[in-house]
Chain A
């Protein structure tokens, strides 16, 4: 009895510590939200912590009304959606033959796939090669480099391997070719793995920074992350506006609003992210 009471106390203490940890983890998000909703003067007087001071939506109005911001947003939405569709198609049609033991070159091709995890091209030759493909200052550089990763391909392949072969054989006897079997029979019952892998690619494309940093120099082709960084860093194109005294925002509040602007879509799809990413994290290695 004594033991179980001390157990309960112990569990209670750990629970309290973890709740505290979770609350602390949320503080940066609460802080940036407050900054984005605060007036210029309290921010400049360092009075904003966890709650907005001098509540105003002026920074938000500026960000929402900023055409360049929406152009970057649209570009990022476009490249994410296109990238995910392309990636799922490319991965599915490649993973399917690789999941078949009767597909003879499968082993050789898997070596090629695993090789990309071992051998990595140095940044500069990678940059020079992709530039020679015409990807410098091209929207395609936001999509094409991200649509096939060994890890995600392996997840799909493992899933296809578990598909009951009797069903596929029946479909082929009925006259379906391999491609038709994949599209009509296998993919419709692979929604969970498609969602998992699709979200992996989607988040990677949405959050990408290094590729646009290297390949995009035209501001009108900036994806969201680059646009946000520009706003956070230099004040960017907003500096001219800020010096005017009749506005109720400054670089800090605008930067904060931009950061929240970029967080909102992620939080909106967060329930799905949490569910399917956890599934994907379990699927592990390229073997099997």
Chain B
């Protein structure tokens, strides 16, 4: 260490100590939150080492023997892994890409409603499901698709035989998509409607006077207004590609549809927590976390680079 460096370090330390003396109430105020984050968010990450151990509850994390990459080898060669990874990718694709335009289209349509009362009424109706839990939504789905449910009653009316969609593999993905639309697409319009409401109506009128037809006005006025929001949300959504949420899938799946419905989160819960295969499922979870980390960081960087609003941080 040169004397300059030493001086800098010393003054840095004195600076902190002085700051602490001067602004100690501020330090004291952040302390509970910092302790909380460490205890509830960071320490659990350290527990990931059990993926490299033969973890046993009795020996604990400190006493269990290390086994290297044994569980990762088991993971990459297991059939379950390719199945749940595939399912996660498919459901992630449905949620973040296939269904992405739905709220945009809904917002554009709501924006065309001229009567304020009707507009408010429509918004009120389609926002409600956002506030219901997946347990409730799952309950509604099972009711509607059950033997005597609305779905089969309509089928009977049309002269079709009764079926049980919840027990059929081929029905799981459409049900997943439909329930996603019902619960979240209405609420998803909020951000777009806010962007649309910032539009100056006089621009629209003068374009109409200049002879722009409806389609041209949409392409040259409305769409450019929405593009920044669309791009930002799209990139942030892809960043969260793997965060499908345990709750939706768990409340919609039945043992008959595990083959197509199991994702990382539900598999880890069933095999890890319920059957106590801790080391193996931590390896599964760690794989998911690392891929998720790469996705979030990549797409947040892209969002910061290419959009005005930028990414999450």
Contacts and interface: CB of A to CB of B under 8 A. Distances in A.
Contact of B29 (A94, A113, A128): A94
A207 B37 CA distance: 22
B26 A100 contact: yes
B294 to A, nearest CB: 10
A285 interface: yes
Contacts of A178: 23, 25-26, 29
A266 B36 contact: no
A124 B278 contact: yes
A246 interface: no
Contacts of B165: none
Given A117-B296, A259-B140, A285 B311 contact: yes
Interface residues of B, number: 99
A91 B40 CA distance: 15
A232 interface: yes
B247 to A, nearest CB: 5
A46 interface: yes
Interface in A11-38: 11, 14-15, 17-19, 21-23, 25-29, 31-32, 35
B10 interface: no
Interface in A255-288: 255-256, 258-259, 262-263, 266-267, 270, 273-274, 277-278, 281-282, 284-287
Contact of A122 (B19, B122, B289, B311): B289
Nearest to B57: A128
A129 B142 contact: no
Contacts of A119: 42, 45, 289, 293
A267 B130 CA distance: 11
B281 A90 contact: no
Contacts of A133: 39
Contacts of A287: 310, 313
Contacts of A49: 150, 153
Secondary structure of the B contact surface, majority rule:
helix
A120 interface: yes
Contacts of A208: 133
Given A22-B126, A287-B313, A179 B282 contact: no
B191 interface: yes
B129 A25 contact: yes
Given A46-B148, A125-B282, A209-B247, A29 B309 contact: no
A167 B118 CA distance: 43
B156 interface: yes
B104 to A, nearest CB: 14
Contacts of B16: 104
B186 A25 contact: yes
Contacts of B272: 123-124, 127
Secondary structure of the A contact surface, majority rule:
helix
A97 interface: yes
Contact of A285 (B110, B135, B141, B312): B312
Interface string B131-152: 1111110111111101110101
B152 A32 contact: no
Nearest to B181: A25
Interface in A193-212: 203, 206-210
B231 interface: no
B124 interface: yes
B269 interface: yes
B29 A97 contact: yes
B182 interface: yes
Given A128-B278, A148-B36, A121 B41 contact: yes
A144 interface: yes
Contacts of A128: 44, 47, 50, 61, 278
Nearest to A229: B135
A19 B122 contact: yes
B34 A109 contact: yes
Nearest to A94: B33
A26 B142 CA distance: 16
Interface in A170-217: 177-179, 182, 203, 206-210, 213-214
Nearest to B19: A104
A273 B131 contact: yes
A206 to B, nearest CB: 8
Nearest to A286: B313
Interface of B: 15-16, 19, 23, 25-30, 32-34, 36-37, 39-48, 50-51, 61, 106, 109-110, 112-115, 118, 121-122, 124-136, 138-144, 146-148, 150, 152-153, 156, 182, 186, 190-191, 194, 208, 213-214, 246-247, 250-251, 265, 268-269, 272-273, 278, 281-282, 284-286, 288-289, 292-293, 296-297, 309-313
7 contacts: A11-B112, A112-B34, A121-B289, A207-B131, A207-B132, A282-B194, A286-B312
Given A21-B122, A29-B140, A43-B148, 5 more contacts: A15-B113, A46-B147, A94-B33, A121-B47, A145-B40
